[in-house]
Chain A
Amino acid sequence: MGVLDNLALGLQTALSLQNLAFCVFGVSLGMAVGVIPGLGAIAAISMLFPITYHLELTPALVMLAGIWYGSSYGGSTASILLNIPGTPSSVVTCIDGYPMGQQGRGGVALLMTAVASFFGGSVGILLMMFFGPLIASYAREFGAVEYFALIVLGLVAASTVAQGSAAKSLAMVTLGLIFGTVGLDMYTGAERLTLGIFELSDGISLVALAMGLFGVSEIISSVRQVKAAEVGKSSVGLRAMKPTREDVRRSVLPMVRGSAIGSFFGTLPGTGPAISAYMAYAIEKRLSRRKHEFGKGAIEGISAPEAANNAADQTSFIPTLTLGIPGSPTMALILGALIIHGITPGPQLVSEQAPVFWGLIMSFWIGNLLLLVLNIPLIGVWVRLLLLPYHFVYPAVLTFIAIGVYSVNNNVFDIQVVLAFGALGYLLRLLDFPTAPVLLGFVLGPLLEENFRRAMLISRGDPLVFVQHPISATVLALAAALLVLGAWSALRQTRQGTALPTPETD
Chain B
Amino acid sequence: MHMKFALLGACAATMALTAPARAEYPEEPVTLVIPFGAGGITDLVTRRIAEKMAAGLGTDIIVENRPGAGGTIAARSVAESDADGYTVFVGTVGSQVVNPLIRDNVGYDPVESFEPVGLMAGTPFLLAVNPGLGVETFGDLVTYAKEHPGELNFGSAGVASSPHLGLELLKYEEGIDIVHIPFNSGREAVNAAASNEVDMTIDAAVVIMPQVKEGLLVPLMLGTDRKMVAAPDVPTNVEAGAPEISITSWNGLFVPSGTPEDVVSTLNTALMGALADEELTAALEAQGTLLFTGSMEEYDAFIEAERTRWSTIVEAADISIN
Chain A residues in the interface with B (C-beta under 8 A): 46, 49-50, 53, 140-141, 143-144, 184, 186-191, 196, 198-199, 201-202, 269-270, 323-325, 329, 332-337, 339-340, 342, 344, 346-348, 409-411, 450, 454, 457-458
CB within 8 Å of A: which of B17-62? 37-41, 43-44, 47-48, 51
Interface contacts (Cβ under 8 Å), in number, total 124
* B321:A190 contact, CB within 8 angstroms: yes
> Smallest Cβ distance from B149 to chain A, in angstroms?
13
Pairs across A and B, CB under 8 Å, 30 listed: A50-B63, A53-B47, A140-B195, A186-B159, A190-B321, A190-B322, A196-B105, A198-B68, A198-B72, A198-B105, A199-B69, A269-B188, A324-B190, A324-B207, A329-B37, A336-B44, A339-B41, A339-B44, A342-B287, A346-B211, A347-B210, A347-B214, A348-B210, A348-B213, A348-B214, A409-B65, A409-B68, A410-B66, A450-B184, A457-B153
* A454:B159 contact, CB within 8 angstroms: no
Contacts A189-B321, A333-B39 given; does A140 touch B194 at CB 8 Å: yes
User: Apart from A143-B197, A333-B38, A409-B68, what are 16 other A-B pairs with CB-CB below 8 Å?
Assistant: A49-B38, A187-B182, A189-B321, A189-B322, A191-B322, A198-B69, A199-B68, A199-B69, A323-B187, A324-B190, A325-B187, A325-B188, A336-B43, A342-B287, A344-B206, A411-B73
Measured in the bound complex, the distance between the Cα atoms of B161 and A186 in whole Å is 11
- Nearest neighbor of A336 in chain B, beta-carbon distance: B39
> Smallest Cβ distance from B39 to chain A, in angstroms?
2
Measured in the bound complex, the distance between the Cα atoms of B183 and A201 in whole Å is 16
Q: Which 6 A-B pairs have the closest CB atoms?
A: A336-B39, A189-B321, A346-B210, A189-B159, A201-B69, A143-B197
Contacts of A143 in B (CB 8 A): 192, 195, 197
* B153:A458 contact, CB within 8 angstroms: yes
Contacts A50-B63, A187-B182, A189-B159 given; does A323 touch B322 at CB 8 Å: no
Contacts of B202 in A (CB 8 A): none
* B210:A344 contact, CB within 8 angstroms: yes
Contacts of A186 in B (CB 8 A): 158-159, 182, 184
Measured in the bound complex, the distance between the Cα atoms of B107 and A187 in whole Å is 24
Measured in the bound complex, the distance between the Cα atoms of B34 and A449 in whole Å is 31
* A411:B68 contact, CB within 8 angstroms: yes
Contacts of B322 in A (CB 8 A): 189-191
- Nearest neighbor of B51 in chain A, beta-carbon distance: A53
> Smallest Cβ distance from A137 to chain B, in angstroms?
10
Q: Is there a chain A Cβ closer than 8 Å to B198's Cβ? A: yes
Contacts A323-B191, A410-B64 given; does A144 touch B197 at CB 8 Å: yes
Q: Which of A191, A336, A346 contacts B214 (CB 8 A)?
A: A346
* B107:A141 contact, CB within 8 angstroms: no
Q: Is there a chain A Cβ closer than 8 Å to B270's Cβ? A: no
- Nearest neighbor of B63 in chain A, beta-carbon distance: A50
Contacts of A191 in B (CB 8 A): 321-322
Q: Is there a chain A Cβ closer than 8 Å to B15's Cβ? A: no
Measured in the bound complex, the distance between the Cα atoms of B7 and A72 in whole Å is 70
Contacts of B184 in A (CB 8 A): 186, 270, 450
Contacts of B182 in A (CB 8 A): 186-187
* B195:A141 contact, CB within 8 angstroms: yes
Measured in the bound complex, the distance between the Cα atoms of B41 and A339 in whole Å is 8
Contacts of A348 in B (CB 8 A): 210, 213-214
Measured in the bound complex, the distance between the Cα atoms of B214 and A335 in whole Å is 20
> Smallest Cβ distance from A11 to chain B, in angstroms?
28
Measured in the bound complex, the distance between the Cα atoms of B139 and A93 in whole Å is 58
> Smallest Cβ distance from A335 to chain B, in angstroms?
6
Contacts of B40 in A (CB 8 A): 336
Contacts of B43 in A (CB 8 A): 336
Q: What sequence of 0s and 1s flags, for each residue 53-97 of chain B, a beta carbon within 8 Å of any chain A beta carbon?
A: 000000000011111111011001000000000000000000000
Q: Is there a chain A Cβ closer than 8 Å to B303's Cβ? A: no
Q: Is there a chain A Cβ closer than 8 Å to B263's Cβ? A: no
Q: Is there a chain A Cβ closer than 8 Å to B295's Cβ? A: no
Contacts of A190 in B (CB 8 A): 321-322
Q: Is there a chain A Cβ closer than 8 Å to B296's Cβ? A: no
* A410:B65 contact, CB within 8 angstroms: yes
* A337:B39 contact, CB within 8 angstroms: yes
Q: Is there a chain A Cβ closer than 8 Å to B135's Cβ? A: no
Q: Is there a chain A Cβ closer than 8 Å to B142's Cβ? A: no
Most-contacted residue by chain B among A186, A270, A335, A344 (CB, 10 A): A344
Measured in the bound complex, the distance between the Cα atoms of B195 and A53 in whole Å is 32
Q: Is there a chain A Cβ closer than 8 Å to B160's Cβ? A: yes
Q: Is there a chain A Cβ closer than 8 Å to B179's Cβ? A: yes
* A46:B158 contact, CB within 8 angstroms: no
Contacts of B192 in A (CB 8 A): 143
> Smallest Cβ distance from B79 to chain A, in angstroms?
13
* B213:A409 contact, CB within 8 angstroms: no
* A46:B38 contact, CB within 8 angstroms: yes
Measured in the bound complex, the distance between the Cα atoms of B45 and A342 in whole Å is 12
Measured in the bound complex, the distance between the Cα atoms of B179 and A277 in whole Å is 38
Measured in the bound complex, the distance between the Cα atoms of B190 and A454 in whole Å is 15
Measured in the bound complex, the distance between the Cα atoms of B180 and A383 in whole Å is 54
- Nearest neighbor of A191 in chain B, beta-carbon distance: B322
Q: Is there a chain A Cβ closer than 8 Å to B238's Cβ? A: no
Q: Is there a chain A Cβ closer than 8 Å to B264's Cβ? A: no
Contacts of A344 in B (CB 8 A): 206-207, 209-210
